[in-house]
Amino acid sequence: MAIPESGRAVGAAPYSSVMSNYHRPQPNRKFMLVEFPAGTHLDRSRASSGGMRGTARDDRDNSLVAQAELFDADDRYDEGYRDGPKQCEPFTAGEVWWRLPDSKTLLSFEDDGFLAAAHRSEPALLND
């Protein structure tokens, strides 16, 4: 069977044609607060890595127990985490650390973005 420049064999069914460059649209995303019963855990998604499902399973036997309830997250999350981590130099001038908000935790990162160190400090030692 000859294959012309169109990529479809002459007389071939339409489903045997060359795949298109169609890209799936990006999924909708929204920050949500999730509530589910004590003694249960959320199902892991089989469709996406790291995703969770809205079904709650028993911690002991993994049986399906309930549906999780989803609530809108605080507006502060929709606005881009303005209260997020802040740069600081708590130990040595020029040595940059990141302080997590409302926390005693300091993080240091390598140039390639990997976590280098995490430090928990006494609040009195940190300048606010």
Strands across the sheet containing 64-67: 40-44, 52-58, 64-67
Domain locations in the chain as residue ranges? 32-78, 86-125
Amino acid 38: pLDDT: 93
Q: What is the DSSP string of 42-54?
A: EEEPSSSTT-EEE
* SS3 per residue for 14-37: HHHCCCCCCCCCCCCCCCEEEECC
C-beta neighbour count of 40 within 10 angstroms: 19
Q: Are 105 and 95 in contact (CB under 8 A)?
A: no
For the segment 12-58, what is each residue's pLDDT rounded down to a tens digit?
555 555 555 666 677 777 778 889 999 999 998 888 777 888 999 99
User: Which of 67, 102, 99, 106 minimizes the C-alpha distance to 85?
Assistant: 99
Task: Locate 43 and state its tokens.
Answer: 């199902």
Q: What is the pLDDT of residue 80?
A: 52
